[in-house]
Homo-oligomer: A and B are copies of this chain.
Amino acid sequence: MEFTIDQIAQLLDGNVEGDGSTRIRRLDKIQEGTAGSIGFLANPKYEKYLYLTQCSAILVSEDFRPQKETQTTLVRVKDPYVGFTKLLEMHAKIGKSERSGAEDPSYKHESSTIGTNFFRGAFSYIGRNCRIGDNVKIYPQVYIGDEVTIGDNCIFHPGVKLYSGTVVGNNCEIQAGSVIGSDGFGFAPQADGTYKNIPQMGNVILEDDVSIGANTTIDCATLGATRIGKGVKIDNQVQVAHNVILGENTVIASQAGISGSSVLGKNCVLAGKSGIVGHIQLADRTTVGANTGVIKSVEEPGKTIFGYIGMDIKSYLKSYSIFKKLPLLQDKLRELEKKL
């Protein structure tokens, strides 16, 4: 992104006070910006920074009256926060759409097709018989195996790996280093103490509007599909095991893990480092606290589970408050014993 302040004012339907010809290349906080960046002032608490800021321009509200002289150029808009958000979105859109075509060298098997307005970064790989939609950005060092189907408007950041057979819907975005479709952890114990691999023949299906963080892993199903529902948002370093099904709009924070064949409802929320054992169901709108281990199904929708062995959060916190006082409790008990 590189615009003059005048261009930005025009975009936001604002008025410039100062030099409108300065070029802006970054968005920044009012207290941290440097030459070439634009910030905003919405909260009066931050007004002091207006007189110190190194930003080349600051969005302020139409009726704002500075109490001292300012070095920076002001851009007066109706709502500086809304205006800045617009710039953020614009910047994001520009950033994401700026690349197109195929960098050299990149690999695409002749049997695979990709739609219009694509980007294929250097050292990216597309195997056989893939069907890829329009407006798809494949960053450098991405791997797409054989027989992969991808919808429109998807972004695969550097180093993402999609195993053969993966299906991706529209508007999906996967951050760098994540692995989709790796073999599930299935081994049959043998009489002699060794383990034999169980073939993992299924795939992973990401429905529309799924976002996945960095270095997350989603295993393929043993048979059938590991399914990530429409609108699901998954953070970094999350583990989703084979045959898991995640309902629509479920949100999973970093370092959480879901064991094999568990089924989560719609609009669930899993906090960081939480863990779900295998083969259980969570009802719609279940919330699981940070670091919580869920070991049995939750049938009633909308409950919040918390604790080392997860239970109703209120019960856990009540018990935990007494756990903290256990030395006192023990003392009282000893006192009673003495009295008797």
Interface residues of A (CB under 8 A from B): 27-29, 32, 88-89, 91-92, 95, 103, 105, 107, 121-123, 125, 139-141, 143, 145, 157-159, 161, 163-164, 173, 175-177, 179, 182-183, 185, 187, 193-195, 197, 199-201, 209, 211, 213-215, 217, 219, 223-225, 231, 233, 235-237, 239, 241, 248-249, 251, 253-255, 257, 259, 266-267, 272-273, 275, 277, 290-291, 293, 295, 307-309, 311, 315, 318-320, 322-327, 329-330, 332-333, 336-337, 339-340
Please name 11 further chain A to chain B contacts, defined as beta carbons within 8 Å, in addition to the given A141-B161, A157-B163, A254-B259, sorted by A numbering.
A91-B201, A92-B201, A95-B164, A177-B217, A182-B213, A183-B213, A187-B233, A193-B248, A215-B215, A215-B217, A253-B259
Measured between beta carbons, the chain B residues less than 8 angstroms from A121 are 125
Cβ A199 vs Cβ B88 within 8 A: yes
Question: Among the listed B89, B161, B309, which residue makes an inter-chain contact with A159, where contact means beta carbons less than 8 Å apart?
Answer: B161
Cβ A239 vs Cβ B254 within 8 A: yes
Question: Among the listed B140, B195, B253, B319, which residue makes an inter-chain contact with A326, where contact means beta carbons less than 8 Å apart?
Answer: B319
Tallying the copies of this chain within the complex gives 3
A237 to B249, CA, bound (A): 24
Q: Enumerate 9 A-B pairs (CB-CB under 8 Å) in ascending A order.
A: A91-B201, A92-B199, A141-B141, A214-B217, A239-B255, A253-B259, A272-B275, A275-B290, A322-B329
CB distance from A100 to the nearest CB of B (A): 14
A241 to B254, CA, bound (A): 9
> Given A159-B143, A179-B176, A272-B257, are A251 and B195 neighbors across the interface (CB < 8 Å)?
yes
Measured between beta carbons, the chain B residues less than 8 angstroms from A293 are 273, 290-291
- 6 A-B pairs with the lowest CB-CB distances in the bound complex, closest first: A92-B199, A182-B214, A143-B158, A322-B326, A179-B214, A175-B182
A89 to B330, CA, bound (A): 55
Measured between beta carbons, the chain B residues less than 8 angstroms from A105 are 105
* A contacts with B: majority SS: loop
A248 to B339, CA, bound (A): 56
Nearest opposing residue in chain B for A27, CB measure: B201
Measured between beta carbons, the chain B residues less than 8 angstroms from A107 are 103, 122-123, 140
Measured between beta carbons, the chain B residues less than 8 angstroms from A325 are 319
Nearest opposing residue in chain B for A187, CB measure: B233
Measured between beta carbons, the chain B residues less than 8 angstroms from A320 are 308-309
A317 to B103, CA, bound (A): 58
CB distance from A225 to the nearest CB of B (A): 8
> Given A293-B291, A330-B329, are A193 and B249 neighbors across the interface (CB < 8 Å)?
yes
Measured between beta carbons, the chain B residues less than 8 angstroms from A103 are 107
> Given A161-B176, A224-B29, A322-B327, are A91 and B199 neighbors across the interface (CB < 8 Å)?
yes
